[in-house]
Structure 1
Amino acid sequence: MIKLCRAIILSVLALTTLTAHAADWYKVEVVVFANQDSAPLADEYWPEIKEIPVPSNALNLKPSNAEGGAYKRLPGSSLSLHDAKKRLRNSGPYKILFHAGWMQPVYRTQTPRPIHITGGEILDNGMYELDGYIAVGRGTYLHFRPNLFLSRKLTADENALLQSPINTTIENSADNAQAAALITMQASSTATSAMSNELLPAIPDILTVNLDQARRMKSKELHYIDHPLMGILVEIRPVR
């Protein structure tokens, strides 16, 4: 009798473990776009990003002709966000950098495995305009976790915009006296302005910014994740 009870308990524990690790399949569709307007550049301080971190367990999104069903690009005819993408293009200075859909198992975990994506052009520094990772897990809700990096080649005007007194004040907000002195120097004579320019931080020709925002989502709904210089449209649907 004791052996029978032990066997039943072990069976229940095994079933519970399998259920906890079971995965449902979902179709994930993502559109990533850049906001090419220059105005947001001056609204925030952008810390320098020299390299993009690479998770050791990341997967690459596979081409549509690859074998298997998971993490493989779906054909365009299977995508749902073409109209939303068209409206984006027609509504402002937005550039589509990535649009793809794929099917994948989604596990109940707080640390889902990231998928590597790239998009846009390759810039002079060898970086893609868009590079980074997307991970999808679930609990009570779906959890969408982008960690994306947008690299943008700055025009001369945009470079000057980042050198503006307002932007410099934001960067040096920890030292208000130094910021005030710098602004005063910029407003003075040509010679003094030249001196102040030497104190300004060097602005790279290519600016890289990061979007790292975990978001809880409901399936079968279109979601939008915002950033001053980029945005993401996401739709996740269960696969029956």
Structure 2
Amino acid sequence: MRGRPVFILAALLAFSPWVTAQEPAEAPTAGAPEEQSSSNVSPQSEAPREDYYRAEFVILERKVDPADVNEKMASRVPEPPDPDITEILRAVDRNGVVETTRKLVSRDQLYLSSAANRLENSGRFRILLATGWYQSFPPNFEGEPLRVAIGDWLPDAGHREVEGHITIDRQRYLHVGVHLNHWEPLPDKEIMQASGTVDSQGDATVSADEEAEQTQDTLANIAEGGDIQGTNQPELSGEAWPKAQLVTWIRETRRMRSEEVHFLDSPTIGVLVFFKKIEQ
């Protein structure tokens, strides 16, 4: 994506000294999960500790005016959230209630904590999530997608500013797939048009169902993130999708070894990933 080298360079310069950061304790503590986590925790601590790791993720937002982003994503419509995803890394509802299915460790226990602190203290980035957990990732492990819903709440859209999912698989190496969308509110007129209430002149328009029948774009094209021709959008899952404007997204799978820090990014959001092998 255009704008990526500047973002990567700024981030690397911001946290380059952290490579000498002191390691936290290698064994998971007996304390409670992350302070804001719900009690909905999977029994992962009972899993066999073969190829046992601490997985760490820092998701950050670059403080930049979306109008200054070279990537023009407003005409793209990602696929809607998959209702079959039940595993959750961190999801915050409209009332601020946090849900997770991982027994998360606190930010200060992370190897990446000093990197997150430096980025935040620079004033150029906002840390949306900094957490980790302990889990076995044996060879041929196929992980379920972990839902992410963080950042500001967008009332008209009915979801968070950054949403998507992350997957972790293991063949010979660990493979991390990041699938995140970064949204901003639609202008008021566009919200009304998306819901089928008024047209650009303020007159009554056809329903969302009728708009869906008139559009020339196929669901397959939308699912692949194709460009939308015109302003009509098909109705998905009974609601006009989306009711927010896409700023940027991350669609990347990265192969990595433990003890390596990887940075996956778009011009406005980024993800730091680190795996620490835990010797039993």
Give TM-score scaled by structure 2 length.
0.52
CA deviations on 1:49-108 (whole Å, 9 max, x unpaired) are: 366332625412389xxxxxx831113342222211122124453221111111122243
Which residue in 1 is equivalent to 2:236?
none
> Is 1:132 aligned with 2:161?
no
CA distance 1:52–1:91, shift in 2 (3 Å): farther
Contact 1:28–1:236 (Cα < 8 Å) also in 2: yes
Report the AA paired with residue 118 of structure 1: A
* Secondary structure of residue in 2 paired with 1:149: strand
Residues 1-240 of structure 1: matches in 2 within 5 Å? 24-38=51-65, 40-49=68-77, 52-54=80-82, 56-61=84-89, 71-91=102-122, 93-109=124-140, 111-124=142-155, 125-153=157-185, 206-208=244-246, 209-240=248-279
Of structures 1 and 2, the larger Rg is shown by 1
CA distance 1:107–1:48, shift in 2 (3 Å): same
Shift of 1:205: 8.4
Report the AA paired with residue 102 of structure 2: Y
Bigger mean CA offset, 230-239 vs 36-45: 36-45
Report the AA paired with residue 123 of structure 1: L
Contact 1:97–1:129 (Cα < 8 Å) also in 2: no
* Alignment gaps of 5+ in structure 2: 1-48, 92-100, 189-228, 233-241
CA distance in 2, matches of 1:76, 1:149: 23
Report the AA paired with residue 146 of structure 1: V
CA distance 1:200–1:138, shift in 2 (3 Å): closer
Q: Which runs of 4+ in 1 moved over 6 A?
A: none
CA distance in 1, matches of 2:107, 2:158: 28
Contact 2:90–2:147 (Cα < 8 Å) also in 1: no
* Secondary structure of residue in 2 paired with 1:120: strand
Contact 1:127–1:151 (Cα < 8 Å) also in 2: no
Identity %: 28
CA distance in 1, matches of 2:108, 2:268: 29
* Secondary structure of residue in 1 paired with 2:151: strand
CA distance 1:207–1:109, shift in 2 (3 Å): farther
CA distance 1:27–1:59, shift in 2 (3 Å): same
CA distance in 2, matches of 1:35, 1:235: 20
Report the AA paired with residue 145 of structure 2: P
Report the AA paired with residue 261 of structure 2: L
Give the aligned length.
171
Shift of 1:46: 4.0
CA distance in 1, matches of 2:53, 2:171: 14
Say which structure is richer in helix: 1
